Structure formats: structure tokens, C-alpha cells
Amino acid sequence: MTVDRILGRLDNLIEMGEKVLTTRHPAPPPFAGYNVEEALFRQWRTSVLAFLNVLPSEYVYYREFEANCMIAYYDHANMGMAVLRAAKEDIAGGYLQKVETLVSAEVFNDFLEMAEHLLDNGYKDPAASLIGAVLEDGLRRICGNNDLPVKSDDNISSLNRKLADKDVYNRLQQREIEVWNKLRDYADHGHFNEYEIDGVKSMLEGVGNFLAKLLEV
């Protein structure tokens, strides 16, 4: 996962958080202050925690977000946004030295197991995002193993096309990867009603088998 892709995902999460903030409404009596829409807040919070959890353990963002953005209160959502913006600023400024190695072949299985745990607990949306991130990084590594040039702005579709064009795998596999990519895009852009948990479970199994075959992970 490159710095550009990490920053892109942070932008997605910040955009989702801004949508949460727009749902502000007065808290019901006898409470004071403002709430935000509960379901949207929970989807956003779960996606953020899944993403921040892949950062090295010494980075404080996961702990800060989890501790300060707990309930569907407007103030909690605001504090969560502050953590995301701090993470983006630090990563964009080059202050986090390990960020280039967040996803590596050695930990693919760990991330896929994390996605499985999310699915077991009913969190299909962050699971789909996480599986998609693993798939993209895997495709980059497969390109490297086959001497195919990779640009920083390559995405799953462009990497998939390069590999299929070079006959690293067949067109049937290419089409299957595009199905996974579409599901990942739905999750990343908040279109949560466009897919079901069974589709994410199938994606998890398919991506795991694909990477095991092509990268021997």
C-alpha cells in the first residue's frame, strides 16, 4: 500500500465523516447538545477503526480515535475527524517512517484473517475495504514479479489489465478481479446497500486463493 493510496483512503474516510457531521440534530430531552445519525456513524466508525488498525502499533491514531469517538454524538464525531486529519497531515508530511511497509506479503494472511473476523461480527463494509486493499497490494507485487512497470496512480483495474494482457492469468480471472474491485469501490464510497455480506465472504475466499496461487502466501 503506497503513501498515495493510504492518503486516498484517508480522504475517503474524512469525506464519510463529513457526511456524518451533516446529520447533526438536537439530542432528545432531557439530554443537551447534538447527536448524529446512528447507523451512518457506526458504519463510518467501523471503517475507520479497521483502517487505522493496520498502522504500526506505536502510532497513536487508532487508540485516540477509539477512545474519543465512541458514541453517535456530534462532538465525538468531530473529535474523530480531528484524529483522521492529524493522521493525514503526519503521513503527507513524511513524519511516519514505516508507512511504506504497512501491507506486505508476509502479513497478507493476517489482514485476511482480520477481514474474516469483521465478517464474523457482521461488519461487511470495512471487511470489503480491507480485502480490496490487500488485493491491490498483491496485484502490485505480482506485477513486480513479472517485470511489469507500476505507477503510483495504478489501481486494481489498471494492474489487472496489465497482468491479463501479459497472460499472467486468463481473462476469466481478470473478470473475477473486476467483480471484486467493484465491490471494494462500493464499500470505499459508502454505497453499502449495493452488495450483501455473502458477496464479501465470496470475495474473501477468492482473494485468499488467488494470492496463495500467485504469490505463495
102 vs 34: CA distance, rounded Å? 36
Can you read off the three cell numbers belonging to residue 126?
470495512
pLDDT in tens, 97-112: 555 444 444 456 778 8
> Is residue 133 within 8 Å of residue 103, measured between CB atoms?
yes
Q: What ranges do the domains of the chain cover?
A: 3-100, 104-215
**Long-range contacts at 90-94 (CB < 8 A, ≥ 24 apart):** 91/3, 91/6, 91/7, 91/10, 92/3, 92/7
- The CA distances from residue 193 to 43, 124, 183, in Å, are 12, 11, 11
> Is residue 76 within 8 Å of residue 2, measured between CB atoms?
no
CB count within 10 Å of CB 90 equals 14
Helix (H, G, I), strand (E, B) or coil at 73: strand
Is domain 104-215 annotated with CATH 1.10.3470? no
Predicted model pTM: 0.55
Rounded average pLDDT over 3-23: 91
Please list, residue by residue across 178-205, b when 16 or more beta carbons sit within 10 angstroms of its beta carbon and e when fewer do.
eebbbbbbbbbebeeeebeeebbbebbe
Q: Does a cis peptide bond (omega within 30 degrees of 0) precede residue 149?
A: no
pLDDT in tens, 53-100: 877 666 789 999 999 999 999 999 999 999 999 999 888 887 665 554
